[in-house]
Structure 1
């Protein structure tokens, strides 16, 4: 992003796994205001509104969220404050200041019952508190005056992991090194999405929206989907982590990965059994080629060895 004055982007969740990647990949021509928990409590809607009114960014990139899927079942008020009320407050403040919003959401807004990839316009039907609060955040953003003016985008993604933070990939890599056998759920299907590819999509979305606002491109749809290419179960993902981890020298050996069912591994929150996102239209709108999830995994694991 170049030409003209710098674009000011206020990033929430800068300390998270995606936030760190967004900071690292911040394009030239962007003045980034990176906020983590110390700078902005997303559970405080008034603080969210006040920060936007004070800093008046061109964009808010809302990558912060309450993502503890199982703990959300016992902390619904906190999950709703962060995932539902905060994006509503950000959208309302931006409607006053003239800014724009990119709000990150999740495949968990769907129940997974249909067995085919979910399009951007399909009805939400979350199974648990986490999905319900993320759905509430989407609804608030899309119902806001900001969205009515074409200044808000919701970007759904799935199964996010990266080289930092707490995520399935790093947990499995550790378990491969510690255990002889790991039981991993094989009857939940979606697509792993790496933080490097997701961060690139976020910055591309902002660039495309800016170009459209300047009359140099088509306006983006209000809801977009982005995940890496392909499909996998958690079992497939765990096997690939072991294979590539050993190939890249991160593991001396792989553990045996035993496929188990969802009922074998009960959790407080129900998960969708099939949450693949149809990203076809979004990839075309962003003019961005996807990377297959296994290739993206190789890149992430390669960074751990570097």
Structure 2
């Protein structure tokens, strides 16, 4: 039987699906009532690491909820019980361990070098129907979203690839089959989907496995990228013509304690140029509470360095309206 004709783009997509799908699982959260087993939620997961007799799966924290155990449906059709090793509700990441393997682990890509316009596929299990694929592009990188804690969730990948109920926790992958993110949320009515970059997911999962919890550091600012006037670039011999204008300083935050103000422009952190909030977040990776960070600020006609002592992000902060 001859293979059906496919255009080059379709060939790329099908090859990517064939590469990613064997690493995608279905995750069901259940409870018992009156002797019956009822399903609370169904989502997706990604086989991250696997060895004989043990595999680790990445998924969303909201998929596993508060459950200690979940049911995992493998691509082979086999159902196994998974133990929730831990979760991070801020970035919506959870790690599930199963006593099964070796299984086909996903091939991960470099989520730090993504460009808007790159084609991507989202693979998951929407509505509990089995493996489903949608396609789109990377609409933006380093996106920020507000959270119930009142602190922004930044560094996200924005995509127009449809993310349906049940896709949550599944992979976002490039057309070469490399996974670059874990889908997490969709803004209803706007057609916007978001994924946590895989390098950040791995860092969070590593903390969960090593320490049992995730400690998020924060500066306590919100802001946006802005072009710096050419005169100031020349006067202060700045390495670039963009910086971050601070639009909000959180009360009692490290930024407020250090004296940072609204309309300050951050041009560097630890001597390295930054032009997005995501860049600032990356400078916090690997640091601990109490570490000092040097923030270079342009305020009016003055350029100076501000030492900021890092703190762990509070478990919950009031929102602006509460």
Calculate the TM-score normalised by the size of structure 2: 0.26
Larger-Rg structure: 2
Higher relative contact order (CA 8 A, sep 6+): 1
Which structure is higher in helix share? 1
